[in-house]
Structures are given as structure tokens and as C-alpha cells.
Structure 1
Amino acid sequence: MTNRPLAVADRLVPLLRAGLIAGLVVAALAYPLAAATGIGAKATAHAVEAKTKLLSTALPAETSYLYAPDGKTLLTMFYEEYRQYTELSEMSPNIQQAIVAAEDSRFYQHGGVDPKGVARAFVANARSNGVSQGASTLTMQYVRMALRDSATTPQEVQEATQQTSLRKIKEMRMAIDLEKELTKPEIMERYLNSAYFGHRAYGIYAASEIFFSKTPNNLSPIEAATLAGLVKSPSQYDPASSDRKDATDRRNYVLQRMADLGYLAPDEVESMKREPIRLKLTDPPNDCAAIPKEYNSWGFACDYLKNWWSSQPAFGESRMERMDKLRRGGYRIVLSLDPKVQEAAENNVGSKDRTGSPFANGIVVAEPGTGRVKAMAVNRTYSLNLDENPPTSNPEASPKVKANYPNTVAPLLGGGDLPGYQAGSTFKMFPMLAALNAGMPLSTTFDAPHRYRSEIYDGWAPSNASGAMTGTQTMWSGFGKSVNTYFVWLEERVGADTSVRLAEQLGLRWRTDVDRKHASPEHAKQWGAFTLGVSDATPLEMANAYAAIAADGRYCEAMPVQTITDRDGTPTMYSTVSGIEREVAKPRCRQVVSADAARAATDAARCPTGDTPAKGGCGGWSTADSVRGTVGRPVAGKTGTTDSTRSAWFVGYTPELAAASFISDPDNPFNAVGDGQSQIPIEAVSRTLREALKGQPVRQFTPPSDQIVG
């Protein structure tokens, strides 16, 4: 008999202790500074309050979306956590009721911390001599998720999730304070947008789409209960990848709790419990490799977008921070590609060298006056699977190579730091434009020999490609026939360093140690070979540089987007050096040379294409005289080949578009393209311009002034 009362007392002691502790915890929350001091916290009450204020305004990470130029066709998404913020009004009441039933039945009664829940948890844990039950309310859970999502360092992530008494006390205090800042519906909305439901689904929008291929406003009670049941243990209860028995049992528990709370009728629930879980899974696309097959070639522009984004200070101080913004910032991005121009580019690259060719034939089209990229295409399939797409120069490679990413693509795009291809005589535009801008007229004459020994460039003696180029030349004829010795002489007059600096102003970058050394202030004056295109360049750079000439000397930075808007639909802004706010997606242009100099350069650049300049004569023949007839409208441009014709180029432009095309073996630069294939870039550009501009009014180039003609 004496043992029985003692046994009861023994059981009552921990229960009383638990209740006392729960009361003390809640009481301590009313005196946060004292509570924090009592457990040795470093943070002051002021810091906790400041953090609470931040959480009341902070929104969770959100997926960014990439659209085709129509602004409606979704190409792909960028995310680390697939999530789209959804307002409570766009969620079914079923999911709101289910999450309350599953996680916090007294959500609408407590003030952020539930004293009854705390006491119940202490009792349960005391009985089990461990942690068998938690006491976190929805508000406390949201605080924890918000702290985790807003963390900027690993330490902050650890502090937000570590299992310590200090973290729990802070969490409780912040939950109480947060309920003074936000209403219950606002907390519910933020919670449902932050919770992790497993299977890479963050927030209710992602969970509804991934598990049931529907939006949150259409969730049935059974579906809502299934999703709400996942929050406790997303991996254990995931019906898509785990044993569905656990998921079904958990769902049925939530349904029963919904009935207990009066959300569902008991007889309805019993019928629902007998229903199997029916999923309709969706795998949301992520990153450029997930672009639909019908838009495969757009993957190259998508890849360029990422390179461009990572270089924009508007999105962060480092490349890592900028890419984090792309994957978490909830942006709506519309590509600048023009479907008509893109289709023309796709049709005309690889018309002679198909996808399986070792030679890559690529083209980029840019818009004069805006810098917007209108097309990017190459005779490759966009793919990240290098196992299925081995390098074409590999003797063990399949003869039917489907792709060659990234070796071909990185130079094509002009993003990143990998070298491009030597662009040959297309570089003659830079000393000619520099000379015109310095006041030298188009009629500047030189009796160009077959070989010219330069005293300025330490006796360097380049020669022409053909004896037919020997003789008196002007800028028109020298450019039209691509006379090396004329342009070395012209470069001497204007200065190689002046030509190099102008090329930089027109967007060229130096990506190899050799090019950087030659382009440096200490060596640029002696870089005589610059005019012959010995430096690496990308089609994007060359198309955009020539686009500036078409735009009367106004250079615009290359731009892969039409618009970029924040998650609230407002245009994304950035601060210029002068402190002026501008839209990130707006053209960024500056006048590099005078309009008259650019018009004069265009007049000379009509000679290579077989077009007729407004003011001068081309000397009887040119290097790409078929272009004018193919394009069918005024057109300017320049051919370029490298030593042994290892690569061949053509850059052409009209007043509306500028296009640059190359052909080369990206895996083996010593595999010569050969003179027989040097026509391929010429055809790619001329046909692309013809098809892209079909049906548009014919625009004329503005003639240069008589003064600059000479």
C-alpha cells in the first residue's frame, strides 16, 4: 500500500516540473532581455526586435522565369528551391485548414507561442525521457524558415536551425513579436509560401504543381491533407519516392484532425480515408538544359544570358551573389531573340556543315542602336551531356556527333573568359575607323606593295594574299580587296594603340595572356599585326562592334534581354556611376566615333560585299561580291581568314541588323577549314540577313560628308 502513493507521486513530479517549466518559459518571454541574459545569450532584445522587423517584410526566395520574346512562352526557370509566391486568396481553404490540423490546431487562438502546447510537449518528453513531441507553432516554424531563408552566411543558417535552448527562446520571442506585426492570414500566407513539402517543392504553389499538376486554389481536401502531412517529415511521407503506406497513414491522420476541428464532416472523412493517393507528377524545368526540344538552339542564348547576368553589378557584388539572385530573386526575364531572325540563323548555319561536322559554323545577330541580341545559332545541339556528345576531334568519337558543348558555345557567346577565334581581316575595320575618326579621308591613298616592311614595327614585313592586290589603293579599294600592306601602312599613320583602344571601346576583350600583353599600354604601339586579326574575338563581339558602325558610331553594350522585372512586376533597376537609376534591360549606349566617321567606314565596307558605295570606287573586284545580290538591299561587311585558313569569318550589316559568322574546328584549331569552306560564313550571314529582313522596307545607308570623302 505504501508503494502505490509513492509511484503516483513519482509520476506526478515530472509532470508538475514540466508544467512549472512551461510556465516559466512563457513568463520569461515577457521579459526578453532578462531571459536572454539568464541563458547567456549574446543578442540583445533590441537585436531580436530588429530581426523581427526584418522578417515581417522579408519574402522567401522565389523561382526566376525565362520567357520567349512574346513574354508568354516559358522557356525555362532558374531556381535552387522551386517556389512561386502565392497570395492567400489564391489558395484553397482546404490547404489552410489542413495545415492548421496537421501542425498547429490552436493557431488562431494563441499569440505566437502556445502555452498549452509547451506544457504538453514538456509532459510528453518527460514521460519518454527524450524528445517525442515539439511545441512549435506555425508562427514559430515560419520564424525558423524565414531566418534560414534570409541567412547570408553558413553561420547564420546554422544559428537559425541548431537545436539549442537559446535558439528556441529567440524563436519564441520573435514569434510573439511577429504576431504584433502581422495578422494571422499574413502569417498563414507566408508560412505556406515558405514550407518545404519534399520532392524539391518549396511553398504551396510548387507542391501543388509537382505532386498534382494544379494550382493551390484547386486543391481538394484529400490533396490538401496529403501535402499538409508532408511538412512534418518530407522524405518519410513523400508519396512520390517513399512507401505510400506511410504517406497514406499521415494523410488520414490529417483528415481525421480536420474532422476533429470541424473542417470536415466525419462521414466524409471516413470515405476519404479509403481513397488511394493519386498523384499527377510534374518535373519543373530548371536552367538552360531544360529548354524544350523545339527551342533547343535557344539554349545558346540562355547560356549567354547567364554569362551576362553574372557580370552585372546590379545583381550583386560577386558572380556568386549575382547567380544566387538569378536563382532566388523571382525575376521575370524576356529574351531579346527575334523568332524570325533566329529561325533564319538556324536555317543558315550548318547548311553546308551539319551537326556532326568537326567544323563549327556559328552566327550572332545584333541590333544596331540597342545592342540587343536577335539571334544566336551554331551547327550543334545544345546539350550538357558530354558522354553522348564527345569532342569531334577525338579519333574515338562517334561520326554522328550531336553536340559539342561547351567548347563551341563559350567562345560563340562571348561570355566567360575562354578565348574565341582569330578573326582575321575583319579587324581591318578598327584602324580604318580610327583613321577616319582622326580626320583622314576615305580617299587616303597608298601605293601598296606585295610585301611591306614596317620600320615602326621593328622591320615586320607582312605580305598580301595575292599579287592582284598590289598597286594604288584607297580605303574603299583597300578594304574591298582586303589589302594587308595598305592597312599596315594605315595603322602606322593612326597608331596601333589607337586602333586597339578603339576596338576596346567597341566591346572587344582580350582573353589570352598573349593578347593582354600586346594590348597593354606598354606594348600596344608595337602591335602591328593587330590589323590582320591575330587576336581572338567572338561573333557576339564582332557583330556588336559592326552594329555600332551601322548606328552612326553609337556603341551599345550587348543585351540578351527585352525586359527584366522583379517579383512584383516592376522593372529591375540599377544605379549608374553618376547615381542615376536606370532599368537593367534598357540599352546602354555611348557615342564612340563621330557619325560621319562611321558613315564613311560603312561606305568603304560596301565594297567587300559587291555593293556600290555612295561616294567612291571599289577598284574592280572584292572578296565577297555575292553578298549584295543575295541580301537584295544595301549591305556592308568584311571577310576574314587566318593563317592557313584555320578559321574563316564574315561580318555583314544593314541599317537594321549586324551579323557575324565564323567556321572553325573548336576542338582542334590546327584542323584547317580550307579555302573551299571560307564561303560558308559569307553565305550564312547574307542568307540570314535576307530572310530576316524579308518583307521589310528597304533602308539606305546615310552617305558620308564630302569633307570626309576627300
Structure 2
Amino acid sequence: MRKRDHNVLTNAASLLICGLLAGVVVAAAAFPAVAMSGLAAKAGAETFGALPKELTVARAPQITYLVASDGKTPLATMYDENRRDVKLKDVSPYMQKAIIAAEDHNFYKHNGVDLNGVARAFVNNSSGANSRQGASTLTMQYVRLAISYSATHPADVVAATEDTSARKLREMSLALQVDKEFSKDEILERYLNIAAFGNGAYGIYAASQTYFGKPPSKLDIQESALLAGMVKAPTAFDPTTKAGYPEAVGRRDYVIDNMVQIGAITKEQADEAKKIELVVKDKRAPNGCVQANKQSWGFFCDYFYRWWMQQETFGATSYDRERRLKSGGYTIKTTLDVQAQDGADRAVRNHLGVNSKAARMVAVVEPGTGRVRAVAVNRNYKLDDREHPQNKVSSDPKKAKKGIRGTYPNTVNPLVTGGGGANGYQAGSTFKIFTLVAALEKGLPLSYTINAQPQFKSEYIIKQGSKAACPGTHFYCPVNASKSMAGVHNMWSAFGFSVNTYFIPLQQQVGAENVVKAAEKLGITFRSPDDATLAADAHQWGAFSLGVSQTTPLELANAYATLAADGKYCEPIPVEEIRGPDGDKLAVANPRCEQRISTQVARAAVDAARCPVGDRSATSKCKTATAGNVRGIVKAPVAGKSGTTDSDKTSALVAMTKQYAVAGIMADPDWPQTNQKMGHDVANGINPAVYETLRDAMKGKERIEFTPPSGKIIEGDQRSIPDVKCQSIDAAKSRLRGAGFDPVVATNPSPSSCPAGTAAGTSPDGRTIKGGVVMIEVSSGQPKPGGAGIGGPVVPPPNGNGRGPRPRG
């Protein structure tokens, strides 16, 4: 700040005169007789010297702006007071002159206190006139406002505005000091930024936007005069009301005339300005997520808000953090990708409107940064009006009987991102990725084979008599969605075909606790108390691989994104950059990443995950795909997985490229036990919502290949398979066991020239992983027409549409 020179004698005289007159002026307003007696003057002189000489100035609350990742598209604004400080050079010269004409003609002449004004107020107030004058200068008004904003206790705010001689004296004393510390232009700038203009507008920037929809640098004469006239009484001179409009016009014209008096404009300019019809916009700045730039963007905005409220950087308590957000004057570049967000909004609503009980929920995460690019659901981000509700009665029969309404079409619940009591939804077989990762971490290769039975009797103990138990036992016995899914599978084919009776024995082998640990490393949390209890002692969590734990689309997308980023986990984050009011960047916006999965394990998992969505690499050995059309729709290298729970109560799909991981879950948030079937690759199912989101997000983006795995993680420790052709089945089994393999016998005979009932050969033949399953083909005794080869594929072929039956679990 620049200190200005003051004449010592002038300042001393000012102090003395102010001390004498201040008490007289205030007293004259209420007790004219006392004022004339000289008692007030004596009190003023004695008190003035003891008043504070330094003004503590706290920054007035500033509006916070949220923009999309492009740095320019508005997302939302948040504020306690709609204010944005501007430099005086960015304020129209007309506005600068208008506020002086309206409030303080001698602003550039006095030293913070206008002695002539004090004298005039004394004469006026002691004369018995109806109107009262207070002799406040712009500097004194600034002091009063600054004290209010710097107050730490409500009583201090009252003291700053009460009509007492003590308050006047304090203002005068501090105004003199402020005038010494700051230049006149600095004081004017501070005043224009702190003054209230009504209709929620604080400061000249907000006022010019609210009433005229333009920056303050563009204000003309009549607009400047209107705003300058409002600070005296914003409610009385409110041009947006029927009663206030004529008062506002009269006050505007009064200020215009005063602008002529101080030489700011000519008489001709004034006459022209007063002829202009006053037109105001009454455009209050939107506040909060319910007034986001687009209603559907409210869900992303809400995710940002909840994230902010968890950051200790912004304060020790939730109250402190909210105040920082709504008064800190931040400019926040969020991670919202307009192209991806708009695509997701279209996709979740396509063929499934906001009045559907079923919620199609989609989240998009950028691998390698954790930046959340889109959050979408077929709902309105809106509080339902209790007086005139739009929401339907809850789909939960128990709640419906009580008349409780559901979350459709309007809700502000974090359906996609979780939190606030929203624990998530079962995501079915998408969780098999965690079993696959745990197995790879244990050293099992992608080519690891298991003879998947139609039903697998596990060692996991569940309630006897449960539908999931083997008849008459308490052992968990999962089955597949189709009997045709049984057979010898490796990780590629089992993941692509979603074979339950491959993954549960695989989970049993590597340990359910290790599968849960892999899920946690990839960011899965257990919000539900029941899930948290099971996760704490996961050894007996038999069905975990089938996605019975609750999760959210955001968690699921980020888990898969970690694998796409070669095992680098990044905490989901909704911001790219946060700048304070002074332009300084905050480190809290930086990505928070760490390597949680080895690069080769992550690449191997992605290699298997290409199978379900119709893609493959040079190393992958895919068979059937449960969502085989994704690759052709996205037209880019993709990986992912579909999932379904029992009775189709939920459906899920994850699809990702190197740039985006998209996860979608379709469920009934109001009634998890819904009797509605959630579809997959149908017009109103979850699959189109996911692959259309990914397709649109990838428009104009580079097509980047996933890096395939290398080394033993693909084939493992390979051993030669002995030739057992034409040997007895028992001899063949014995020889294979002796070579370190796990022999199984095929159920159906194969064409062969070997004697019937003997070994026709093996599948695979040649070489396979040590300890792997080798199927003994049984000869039918009849050669294959045209040749003597063995028949029958190991894994059943697709069912005609390239997808196979949809998995359950």
C-alpha cells in the first residue's frame, strides 16, 4: 500500500475538531439540548485520543467459480455472498465518479473525515429538521463495512453499525488512519468491492452482472448512477420490484445531477442519460449444485462438493471447509470433460427416462491420474418439492405402504459416487477381475487351466439349506449361467465366458482373503456394515468373486482404470487445478497416485479383460465374449467385463481404453430386492449406456494399444505332455500324474482309430503349464470321416451371437 503525505498541523487540527464535533453531531440527532450545552463536545475531545488507530481488515467473502476441464465452460458457482473483487482500472470511470457524486463530493479533498460535512450535520441535526445527517465519508463507510467483515463475534458486528457517538468516533479515528495508509484510488477500489447493492449482489462486479449482465468496465452513465444510488438503501431503491422501480429511477436521476455538480459529466450528457428507460435484468448468480450450469451436471458437482468437504486442507471442521468453499474466492478447474459428460448424460437417458424405477448409473475415470471425467444417471439433480412433489411412491413395498416417496425423477443422493448413506450396489461378475489379479500375484499364469464343472462343491461353509449350498450340506456350491460353460478353461476363456465354476475354485486356491486384499488395493471399499465384517475376516467369503459386495460405478471404474494404467492406483479426484483469489495454485489438486499392482500383473489382467468385450491382443487366447460387440462400437482397443446378480436384480458393465475407464451399474436404488429385471445389451439395459459413453468420449481421440504382458506370466512353467494315445484310461491318468499334470477324463467319446474306451489323445497336447489340467480324450473306436484325428473342442463354441449366455454372479 502507498502512504500519502499529510501535513502534521492539518492532522492535529482534524483530530481536535473531530473530537469536539463528533460527540456534538451524534448527540444533536437525539438530544439537541445536550448537544448545545457543550457536554457532548467535552466528552468527544476526551474520548477521541483513546480510540484505536489501526483497522484490522479481513478479506470480504468472495464467490467461488467452478469450470469444466477446458478451463472455460461454467459448471457452478458457490458463495455466501456474491462478490468478486476487481481492480479499479476494471471499473468504468463513470461508476467511479457516480459513487463519489452519490456519497462523498469531497472524497479527493478531505483526509478521511470531511470537517465541513461534520459541521453541516451539526447545524442540520441541531436545527430540528426532519432529516438527520451523519457526515459519513466514503472512507468512514468503508471503515464501518471493514469492521463488520473483520468481526469475530456477533456483538462486534452490532457495534460496527449501531447509531452511537462511540461508533462515530471510532470510524473517524480509523478513517484518518486509513487515509494515511492508502491512496484515494485504493480506498475507492476497496469500497466498491465491499459495498452491498441488494438482490444478493455484493461489490461492483456482482452488481453490474446482476442488474445489467455486463462487467463493471462496460457500465454507462445511467447504469453507473443507478448502482451508485442503491448503496444508500438497496431495498428501498430496488429497481426489480414494483414499489422500488420509481424510487430507483428518481435516485438514479439525483445521482446523475450530482455528477454534473462535481464536473464528472456535462449537463447535455446528464439530460441524455435521464431520458434512457431503466431496464434491469435481475439475474442473480446461481448458487450451489442444484443450480449447476446444466441440471444433469449437478451429480458431478455434488461429487466435487463431497470431495471438498473431506479435505483437511480447507479446515479442521466441516463448517470451516464449507466457509472456505463459499467465501474463499477460488477458481476451480474441475476434471469434468464436457464431451464425455454430455455423452454419458445422453447414454443413460436413451430409452430410459427419469421416471424409471431403474437407475442407469455411469462413471468415467481417466487411468493414470484418477481424474473423474463424468458422472451421470437418469435422474434430475433436484430437491423434490415437499408441497408439490413430483417423485413417485417408493418401489419398496414397505416404504410404499407408509407413503414414502422414491428417488425418481428427482434426487440429490450420490447414487453414482456413494457416500451419505448410499453404500452402492452388487456388480456381479465384474469382481472376477480381483480374483484374476490375486491369482496372477500368486504366480499363476494366464494359461492356468481348471476343469470347470457344472457345479463346484467348495470348502466354503454357508447356511445349510441355502439355495447356494449343495443339497443336504452346508457347503457353498456355485453353478454357471449355462451348462455349456463347463469344461477346461484358462484365465482368458474363463474370464471371457464368465465361468463361475472356474473362478470360485481359483479363489479357493489363492485364498478369498487375498482376493479381497486385491480388491482393496484397487480401491474397493466396504461401506456396508455386513460387507465390512466379511472383509475383515474374508477367509470364508466364498461368493466374493461373484460380486456380492456393494460398490459404486465410480469405485468400479477406478479399479479397472488402475489396471489400464499398468497398476498405478490414483485416488479419484474431481479437480485439476485450484487457484486462490490471489492466483496461487493449491497442491491439493494434484493427482495422488502410487504403484499398487505390478506392471506385468496389471497387463496380464487387462489381456484377459479384452476377451469379454470382443477384443484380443497378440498374446491373448480368447474364446466366447459376454459383451462381444463393445470393440466394434467403440472402434478402439478395449477391455472390460460384464456382470449380473441373481434374478437380474442388478446389471453391470465395465469398458475401458487407455484414456477412459467407464463403469455402469443398473439397479433400483430404492429397493435392492427389486422384482424388476435389469437388462444388459437391450435398448434400455446397462450395456448401451456404457459403450455409448465410451464411444462418445473417444471421438477425436488417439487409438492407443494396451501393452500385452510378457514372460512367464503368460504361459508359466511349461512342460511337455506325455503321449498317451491308445493307452488305457487308467494308464494314461497315471502317466500324466507322474509328469506333474492334473488329468481329467472327457465325458463324450471322440472319433479315433484307437480301441474304444482307450485314450484317443489329450487336450491340450504338446506342452502346457506345470500342474495344469490335461483332458484325456476317450476314443469312440470309430475314426473321424476323412481322417483319424481326435475331435471335440475343449471349450464350447459361441452360441451363435458371439456372446454366449449371460453370466450370473
Structure 2 CA distance for partners of 1:214 and 1:338, relative to 1, 3 Å: closer
* 1:482 lines up with 2:519 in the alignment: no
Q: Check conservation: 1:22, 1:122, Cα contact below 8 A.
A: no
Q: Check conservation: 1:451, 1:461, Cα contact below 8 A.
A: no
Between stretches 503-512 and 87-96, larger displacement belongs to: 503-512
Query: In the aligned structure 1, how far is the partner of 2:679 from the partner of 2:254?
Result: 75
The residue number in structure 2 matching 1:638 is 641
The residue number in structure 1 matching 2:334 is 335
- How much does 1:236 deviate? 1.1
AA paired with 1:440?
L
* 1:707 lines up with 2:723 in the alignment: no
* 1:668 lines up with 2:633 in the alignment: no
Structure 2 CA distance for partners of 1:90 and 1:683, relative to 1, 3 Å: closer
2:580 corresponds to which of 558, 566, 586: 566
Q: Check conservation: 1:159, 1:167, Cα contact below 8 A.
A: yes
Q: Check conservation: 2:341, 2:373, Cα contact below 8 A.
A: yes
* 1:624 lines up with 2:633 in the alignment: no
The residue number in structure 2 matching 1:25 is 44
Q: Check conservation: 2:260, 2:267, Cα contact below 8 A.
A: yes
CA deviation string 1:123-178 (max 9, x = no partner): 55555599933243322322232233345665554554455665555444433333
Superposition RMSD in Å: 3.4
Between stretches 545-554 and 654-663, larger displacement belongs to: 654-663
AA paired with 2:246?
K
* 1:532 lines up with 2:546 in the alignment: yes
> Residue 543 of structure 1 aligns to a residue in which SS?
helix
* 1:547 lines up with 2:561 in the alignment: yes
The residue number in structure 2 matching 1:89 is 89
Q: Check conservation: 2:95, 2:221, Cα contact below 8 A.
A: yes
AA paired with 2:48?
L
Q: Check conservation: 2:360, 2:667, Cα contact below 8 A.
A: yes
AA paired with 1:506?
L
Normalised by the length of structure 2, the TM-score is 0.74
- How much does 1:262 deviate? 3.9
> Residue 436 of structure 1 aligns to a residue in which SS?
helix
Query: In the aligned structure 1, how far is the partner of 2:461 from the partner of 2:492?
Result: 25
CA deviation string 1:557-596 (max 9, x = no partner): 223233332333342x1xxxxxxxx3x3332211111111
> Residue 206 of structure 1 aligns to a residue in which SS?
helix
Structure 2: state its 5+ residue gaps: 1-30, 463-473, 717-809
The residue number in structure 2 matching 1:305 is 304
Between stretches 224-233 and 252-261, larger displacement belongs to: 252-261
Structure 2 CA distance for partners of 1:463 and 1:280, relative to 1, 3 Å: closer
Between stretches 298-307 and 125-134, larger displacement belongs to: 125-134
1:422 corresponds to which of 417, 420, 426: 426
CA deviation string 1:181-217 (max 9, x = no partner): 2211111101001100112111112212222333323
> Residue 476 of structure 2 aligns to a residue in which SS?
coil
AA paired with 2:531?
D
- How much does 1:439 deviate? 3.1
The residue number in structure 2 matching 1:681 is 686
CA deviation string 1:506-525 (max 9, x = no partner): 33333333233333x4x344
The residue number in structure 1 matching 2:22 is none
Structure 1: state its 5+ residue gaps: 1-10, 33-44, 574-581
The residue number in structure 1 matching 2:763 is none
- How much does 1:551 deviate? 0.4
AA paired with 2:541?
W
The residue number in structure 2 matching 1:515 is 531
AA paired with 1:314?
T
Q: Check conservation: 1:78, 1:327, Cα contact below 8 A.
A: yes
Query: In the aligned structure 2, how far is the partner of 1:672 from the partner of 1:627?
Result: 28
- How much does 1:402 deviate? 12
1:435 corresponds to which of 420, 433, 439: 439
- How much does 1:303 deviate? 2.6
- Trace 1:56-205 onto structure 2 (pairs within 5 A): 58-118=58-118, 120-121=120-121, 124-125=124-125, 132-151=132-151, 154=154, 157-158=157-158, 160-162=160-162, 167-205=167-205
Structure 2 CA distance for partners of 1:93 and 1:456, relative to 1, 3 Å: same
The residue number in structure 2 matching 1:378 is 377
CA deviation string 1:475-500 (max 9, x = no partner): 32332232334333333444434433
Q: Check conservation: 1:497, 1:525, Cα contact below 8 A.
A: yes
CA deviation string 1:519-577 (max 9, x = no partner): 3x4x3444333322222211111111100100000011223233332333342x1xxxx
AA paired with 1:517?
T
Structure 2 CA distance for partners of 1:676 and 1:333, relative to 1, 3 Å: closer
The residue number in structure 1 matching 2:478 is 463
Between stretches 454-463 and 699-708, larger displacement belongs to: 454-463
Q: Check conservation: 1:627, 1:683, Cα contact below 8 A.
A: no
Query: In the aligned structure 2, how far is the partner of 1:135 from the partner of 1:67?
Result: 44
Structure 2 CA distance for partners of 1:478 and 1:274, relative to 1, 3 Å: closer
Query: In the aligned structure 2, how far is the partner of 1:362 from the partner of 1:203?
Result: 41
Q: Check conservation: 2:365, 2:374, Cα contact below 8 A.
A: yes
How many pairs were matched up? 660
Between stretches 325-334 and 689-698, larger displacement belongs to: 689-698
* 1:349 lines up with 2:348 in the alignment: yes
Q: Check conservation: 2:296, 2:345, Cα contact below 8 A.
A: yes
The residue number in structure 2 matching 1:597 is 601
AA paired with 2:240?
A
AA paired with 1:290?
Q
AA paired with 1:637?
G
* 1:693 lines up with 2:698 in the alignment: yes
The residue number in structure 2 matching 1:247 is 248
The residue number in structure 2 matching 1:360 is 359
CA deviation string 1:632-674 (max 9, x = no partner): 3432111111222111000111222211112222333333442
Q: Check conservation: 1:603, 1:614, Cα contact below 8 A.
A: no
Query: In the aligned structure 2, how far is the partner of 1:468 from the partner of 1:166?
Result: 92
* 1:316 lines up with 2:315 in the alignment: yes
Query: In the aligned structure 1, how far is the partner of 2:431 from the partner of 2:216?
Result: 57
Structure 2 CA distance for partners of 1:203 and 1:425, relative to 1, 3 Å: same
Q: Check conservation: 1:641, 1:678, Cα contact below 8 A.
A: no
Query: In the aligned structure 2, how far is the partner of 1:597 from the partner of 1:284?
Result: 50
Query: In the aligned structure 1, how far is the partner of 2:155 from the partner of 2:545?
Result: 54
- How much does 1:235 deviate? 0.6
Query: In the aligned structure 2, how far is the partner of 1:26 from the partner of 1:489?
Result: 93
Q: Check conservation: 1:22, 1:115, Cα contact below 8 A.
A: no
AA paired with 1:338?
D
The residue number in structure 1 matching 2:654 is 651
- Higher helix fraction: Structure 1 or Structure 2? 1
CA deviation string 1:374-414 (max 9, x = no partner): 33333334444554641375689xxxx9962326x512134
Normalised by the length of structure 1, the TM-score is 0.83
AA paired with 2:59?
L
Query: In the aligned structure 2, how far is the partner of 1:284 from the partner of 1:304?
Result: 21
| Structure index of larger Rg | 2
> Residue 663 of structure 1 aligns to a residue in which SS?
strand
- Trace 1:263-278 onto structure 2 (pairs within 5 A): 263-265=264-266, 277-278=278-279
Query: In the aligned structure 2, how far is the partner of 1:671 from the partner of 1:393?
Result: 11
CA deviation string 1:330-368 (max 9, x = no partner): 222333233333343334334342344332222222111
> Residue 225 of structure 2 aligns to a residue in which SS?
helix
CA deviation string 1:615-641 (max 9, x = no partner): 4534x4242233333333432111111
Structure 2 CA distance for partners of 1:547 and 1:272, relative to 1, 3 Å: closer
AA paired with 2:247?
D
Q: Check conservation: 2:331, 2:580, Cα contact below 8 A.
A: yes
Query: In the aligned structure 1, how far is the partner of 2:155 from the partner of 2:550?
Result: 44
AA paired with 1:642?
T
